[in-house]
Amino acid sequence: MRASKLITAEDAVARVKTGDTVMVGGFGLVGAPLDLIDALVDHSDATDLTVVSNNIGEPGRGLGRLLRQGRIRRGISSYFTSNPEAVAAVNAGEIEATLVPQGTFAEAIRAGGAGIGGFFTAVGAGTLLAEGKEERMIDGVRHVLEEPIRADVSLVYAARADMLGNLWYRRTARNFNPLMATAATVTIAEAGEVVTVGTLEPESVVTPHLYVDHLVAST
């Protein structure tokens, strides 16, 4: 086991390759790994990306910067309307959009991290969101089969981490980050504060270090 997983943001985003599926934590900009996103914009040439995130940032902020570079091919999100530029890009056919109800979105990521092959939900049944999906009646209610979501790389944000990569999240910034940390081949965590091993109370650790491959300190 490495004594520290700390690397630079520039080195971290070198793990993202053209064509990758990239999960990005955050609800709006709250809990988003903004330094990692900026590094991806400024120090990576990876393009044709599928971005799994609750939304596509805001105009010129967060993932909105990556969108302006034309490097997002597809967005898998709960909503796009926080960024009018993302809506315009979808309407113009510049990016593909997969809209997933927020609870289903979270559960699909959890399923991806847990190795679950899929799950049935009544959410979206009988709507356009269910087109092409397997349906089943459960207790007299129509359900649709949702597949798990996994990624090549996850970019997550924690308020505090130790040098091994154990992560603690602050309040609502917890949002999708813990789920996404489990559901990718490579997980890169940005931390607002990096502390020595043993500083974090074991009961406060939400994401164990075994899920985290690389750690970046926020600037």
Q: According to the model, what pLDDT value does residue 4 have? A: 82
Question: What is the model's pTM?
Answer: 0.94
User: Could you tell me how many residues make up the chain?
Assistant: 219
Asked if residues 172 and 178 have their Cβ atoms less than 8 Å apart, the reply is: no
Residue 29 structure tokens: 């900009």
The pLDDT tens digits of the residues spanning 187-215 come to: 999 999 999 999 999 999 999 999 999 99
Per the prediction, the chain carries an average pLDDT of: 95
Asked if residues 174 and 139 have their Cβ atoms less than 8 Å apart, the reply is: no
Nearest residue to 14 (alpha-carbon basis) of 49, 52, 44, 37 = 44
The pLDDT tens digits of the residues spanning 41-80 come to: 999 999 999 999 999 999 999 999 999 999 999 999 998 8
- Bridge partners of 51, per DSSP, are 22, 75
The pLDDT tens digits of the residues spanning 17-33 come to: 999 999 999 998 999 99
User: Do the strands 167-168 and 141-146 form a parallel or antiparallel pair, or are they unpaired?
Assistant: unpaired
Query: Span 153-169, mean pLDDT?
Result: 97
9-217 is classed CATH 3.30.465.10: no
How many angstroms separate the most distant Cα atoms in the chain? 54
Query: Does residue 3 have a pLDDT over 70?
Result: no
Q: According to the model, what pLDDT value does residue 82 have? A: 87
Query: Does residue 1 have a pLDDT over 70?
Result: no
Question: For the chain, what are the domain ranges?
Answer: 9-217
